[in-house]
Structure 1
Amino acid sequence: LSLFRFMKMNNATISVSEFILQCAIESNQKTVTICVLSFIYCLSMFGNLLVIVIIILNPQLHAPMYICIGTLAVIDLANGSILIPKMLSVLLLGSPVVPYAACVLQMFLFLHEMESLLLALMAFDRYIAVVYPLQYPLAITNKKVVISLLVLNIFAICFKLHIPVFASELSFCHTNILPFCFCDYTTLVQVSCTDDPKYLIPMITGAVVYGVSPLILILLSYSRIAIEALRVTSAGGKSKVFSTCVTHLLVVGLFHIPLAFFYILPGAGVTITRETYNVIFILGNAVPSMLNPIIYSFRNQEINKSIHKLFIRRRSTHIRRK
């Protein structure tokens, strides 16, 4: 098995044209892993596509909150398609080779940063809706939400422009094997033989800008919402607000906690098997893509009504044709 395809060699430094993804999954667990990933991917695609279609078709759902939910569904759809099919091909077909350009492209297209910023925007939306309900219609409009999403997208893309530039500068002395089922910039830097600290700066900056900062904003928003909920006199209103908080925080926890462990544990010197890291990464990326439509959307009465009407209408049309 050829591990390297040489482009050029200078002393012990090797420029490679491809990487090997080494999915550290025990052979007796591969079948279960493949079945779980396939289930997650199918359910994620169905759920997120359904949410997108429902929001597009129903004019009543063309509101700020639903625009955010639809955008989250698009991001989850994209992230699932970027990650899971390649994981399945590695495990199922035994094709771990990834061209250099494709590996860098996967790292660039993965919308982890955008999802983190979007969750913070959604938390801010709920904060205004609960704490300043009278000002909400003027403070949060469709136009403002769309502009905010565009700005966040541009900001995230500009921040990620370093990935193809820095990745092209990395040199590899010993191996082109990436010990996970996916291409990740942090892993790429770790397996390279480049010690320049400038390649670590984007990782640290990204953790602060897209990890810590949005999480702090989210926690502050929901803490303020919880305080406001305690002041609500009606039991029904209080229950509704707390239900919203718990629902949104569950999504945030599913997204942030596994990824925090994925990046923090190696820096803390904690030794964990590669298989465990693969599982943590899947939990932090694949599972939220599957659960977000259920947690955010299918618990929403308006979306549920729209789904019900869509399927009832199609069923009625089908019966009439018969």
Structure 2
Amino acid sequence: MPELNRSTVTEFILTGFPGLHPEYQGLVSAILFLVYVFTLTGNVTIILLFATNRSLHKPMYYIILNLCTCDILFSTTTLPKIISKYWFQSGTISFTACFVQMYFVHYLGTVNSFILFLMAFDRYVAICHPLSYLIVLKNSTILILSITAWVLSLPTNLIITIRAYPLPYCASNIINHCYCDHIGITTLACTDRAPYGFLAFVFAMIVLLGPLAFIIFSYCSIIVAVLKIADIKGRKKSLSTCSTQVIIISLYYLPRCFVYLSSNVGIRFSADIRIVIIMLYSLLPPMINPLIYCLRAKDMRESLWKQFNRRIIPQKTQVSSINKL
């Protein structure tokens, strides 16, 4: 297919939720806007708590800091465009901008997977090898591993994007999704996408199943180690330190595995249901994670309570002084 044909597509159109009735578009956009606000508020609060409380400067919270940063960036990459589609009927996105969005969607997804791997590794060392924890997982070690996760995710996603960009896009320019992703874009190419899709699929499986395999191994090892603890209170304490991460990891991996496996065993969904599932596992975890940290992590909960008291007590003191006058 000649390269000239690619120029016939200069922009893409995001359908959002294809079967959504116009009278519900305002409601859906309001819900997405609230999700974005709650995501930003929750994750920025966690980052500020980390920055203002030295008691949180521990390996586990450095990992959570990376996860919060990744969640903010992912939500900012995907949500504003789909919100503007329903608010301002602006569903078009330029050719280049769509590929930029695609790159960051997959890049941040890769980083997120690696960060969850670090989270499981932290708990594995803490419970299965507690005497080595302070030696193996120092703050400097976590910093190096976190930087490695962000850097290693750069080239592979860039290669996939660069390979997809020059394909001849000369047919439809409608993407049945709320944001640009590799499958949504390359299926519109006027050429055989198999060589490009296969590479992307293999990489996605490595990124998804590689960390997931270690996560499953680590938590199986943790369960075995906990069952060897004679003290019941000790068992509960050990399990409670993992419960937060199990919830976060489950929210990230289970829906993704369900979508990937169902598509390969012949289970078919309507476009609307598939998009809703993808949006749920893409956007709900970034919004819910900060709430889980604050409710389940004792140090985080205490830090939040201290910050709350610092703001409330001066106000009460000021009101009392005014009343005395």
Q: TM-score, normalised by structure 2?
A: 0.90
Q: Partners of 2:301 and 2:312 in 1: how far apart?
A: 17
In structure 2, the residue corresponding to 1:251 is in which secondary structure?
A: helix
Which stretch has the larger CA shift, 117-126 or 205-214?
Answer: 205-214
How far the C-alpha of 1:226 sits from its partner, in A, is: 0.8
1:280 correspondence with 2:277: yes
Q: Is the 8 A contact 1:21 1:98 kept in 2?
A: yes
**Equivalent residues of 1:114, 1:152 under 8 A apart:** yes
- Per-residue Cα deviation, 1:216-246 (whole angstroms, up to 9, x for no partner): 1111101100111111122222112223333
Aligned to 1:185: 182
The offset of 1:142, in angstroms, is 0.6
Q: Separation in 2 of the partners of 1:247 and 1:167? A: 38
What pairs up with 1:58-207 in 2 under 5 angstroms? 58-110=53-105, 111-207=108-204
AA matched with 2:310: R
Question: In the TM superposition, what is the alpha-carbon distance from 1:319 to its structure 2 partner?
Answer: 4.2
Measured after TM superposition, the shift of residue 318 of structure 1 is 3.6
Question: Structure 2 vs 1, CA of residues 265 and 169 (structure 1 numbering), >3 Å: closer, same or farther?
Answer: farther
CA distance in 1, matches of 2:83, 2:221: 42
Contact 1:226–1:245, Cα closer than 8 Å, also in 2:
no
Please state how far the C-alpha of 1:71 moved relative to its aligned partner.
1.0
Q: Identity over aligned residues, as a percent?
A: 29
Pick the aligned partner of 2:11 from 18, 26, 50: 18
Alpha carbons of structure 1 residues 267 and 193: separation in structure 2 relative to 1, 3 Å: farther
* Mapped contact 1:19–1:100 kept (Cα < 8 A): yes
Cα shift at 1:165: 1.1
- Provide the aligned length of Structure 1 versus Structure 2: 313
Instruction: Give the SS at the match of 1:172.
Output: coil
What's the Cα RMSD here? 1.9
Distance 1:100 1:266 in 2: 28
Indicate the larger mover: 186-195 or 201-210.
Answer: 201-210
| TM superposition shift of 1:267 | 4.0
| 2:9 and 2:170 in contact (8 A); partners too | no
Which shifted more, 122-131 or 30-39?
30-39
Query: Per residue, is there more helix in 1 or in 2?
Result: 2
Deviations 1:130-185 (A, max 9, x none): 01111100010011100001111111011111133123221123201101111001
Structure 1 residue 45 corresponds to structure 2 residue 40: yes
2:293 and 2:300 in contact (8 A); partners too: no
| Correspondent of 2:52 among 49, 53, 57 | 57
> Residue type matched to 1:177 in 2?
I
Could you tell me which runs of 5 or more consecutive residues in structure 2 were left unpaired when the two chains were aligned: 320-325
- C-alpha distance in 1 between matches for 2:54 and 2:19: 46
Q: By how many angstroms is 1:207 displaced?
A: 2.0
Q: Out of 256, 260, 282, which is 2:257 matched to?
A: 260
Aligned residue among 309, 313, 317 for 1:316: 313
Contiguous gaps of at least 5 residues in structure 1? 1-7
- One-letter code aligned to 2:245: H
3-state secondary structure, aligned to 1:169? coil
Report the AA paired with residue 49 of structure 1: V
CA contact (8 A) 1:261 1:280 kept: no
Alignment partner of 1:102: what SS? Answer: helix
Kept in 2, the 8 Å contact 1:90–1:181? The answer is no
Judging changes above 3 Å, is the alpha-carbon distance between structure 1 residues 188 and 264 closer, same or farther for their aligned structure 2 residues? farther
Give me the whole-angstrom Cα distance separating, in 2, the residues matched to 1:262 and 1:19: 25
Do the aligned partners of 1:127 and 1:224 also contact (CA within 8 Å) in 2?
yes
Rounded to whole Å, the distance in 1 between the matches of 2:262 and 2:26 is 28
Contact 1:45 1:77 in 2 (8 A): yes
Distance in 2 between the 1:39 and 1:240 partners?
35
Tell me the distance in 2 between the aligned counterparts of 1:25 and 1:225. 45
Give CA-to-partner distance per residue, 1:75-101, whole Å, 9 cap, x none.
111111111111211223221100111
Letter in 2 for 1:198: P
Deviations 1:160-217 (A, max 9, x none): 1113312322112320110111100121112212215331233222222210111111
Give the match's secondary structure for 2:235. Answer: helix
Q: 1:69 and 1:130, CA in 2 relative to 1: closer, same or farther beyond 3 A?
A: same
Q: 1:29 to 1:254 in 2, by over 3 A?
A: farther
